[in-house]
Amino acid sequence: MASRLWKLRQRFGIAAPRVSVRTHVPWYLRWLLLAVLFAFSAALAAWMYDAGRRFAGFDRGEIEQELAKARTDLAALRVELEGLRASANAADSRLSIERTAQQKLAQQIRSLEQDNARLREELAIFESMLSSEAMVAAAPIGILRFKVEPEALPGEYRYRVLLRASAARKGKDFAGRLELAVNLTEDGRSAIITVPEAADAGAPAFRLSFKHFQRMEGSFRVSPKAKVGTVQVRIYENGSAAAMATQSATPG
């Protein structure tokens, strides 16, 4: 009995243990409080970080403004660059057109100079013929001038022939054909080719029909590796197998 009393005194008496009374808080309120605390801490940390950068001389707003301005300037420079490129392309096109026109003009000038020289040469020939009385007794067909010149492409040559008929023909037209005999060397071997070939002997480009004078001009092609020595022009009258007139020339 005494032991029971002693235990009761220890539980309810002066020597009894202290009891603390706490208010019960639901768990969701605790989590909400923790979330608010974390959000406040994050905002405070961000503010402190931004304040530290401003204090150190780094302003995010100012940097963003500078970046926006730089982007605007870059866009303007790109537009200006495109305009300059378009102007440069147009200038290049005009320059190319002008160069092409100058080249064509130079070619026309060279062609006119060649034609002028040829006409002067023919005029001198005609004047010498008119001043000579030997024309009456001359051969029925004569070759006044024969030239062969290389073209720009290897293996291509251009020929020019000026023919005259004798006054002894008494107004009768001469009808015949022209033929070229080309002497060339290729790989150490010599050969003679005929222009035109036998199958094209009657080609319109080589027919002759005139009363007093006729100018013939054309071109022929050989192998680019071949070296042309001399070219002989032969004039045939229709119905005759023998050449009535011949003359040779060296390309140059």
Of 26-30, 95-99, 160-164, the poorest mean pLDDT is in 26-30
Rounding to the nearest 10 degrees, give the CA dihedral for residues 95, 99, 105, 107.
-170
pLDDT digits 0-9 by tens, 184-236: 999 989 999 999 887 676 678 889 988 888 888 999 999 999 999 999 999 99
Q: Which pLDDT value is given to residue 121?
A: 74
Q: Taking 50 as the threshold, does the pLDDT of residue 53 lie above it? A: yes
Model pLDDT, residue 136: 43
Q: Omega into 196 within 30° of 0, i.e. cis?
A: yes
By mean pLDDT, which of 52-56, 144-148, 186-190, 199-203 is the weakest? 52-56
For residue 104, give Cα distances in angstroms to 117, 151, 168, 214. Answer: 20, 17, 45, 29
The rounded distance, in Å, linking the Cα atoms of 250 and 145 is 13
Residue 58 pLDDT exceeds 70: no
- Spell out the long-range contacts of 181-185 with Cβ–Cβ below 8 A and sequence spacing 24 or more: 181/231, 181/232, 181/234, 182/220, 182/222, 182/228, 182/231, 183/228, 183/229, 183/230, 183/231, 183/232, 184/222, 184/226, 184/227, 184/228, 184/229, 185/226, 185/227, 185/229
pLDDT at site 135: 47
Report CA Rg, the chain. Answer: 55
pLDDT reported for residue 219: 92
| Rounded percentage of the chain residues whose pLDDT exceeds 70 | 74
State the average pLDDT over residues 133-149. Answer: 72
pLDDT of residue 21 exceeding 60? no
In percent, the amount of the chain with pLDDT more than 90 equals 24
- Given a cut of 90, whether residue 178 has pLDDT beyond it is yes
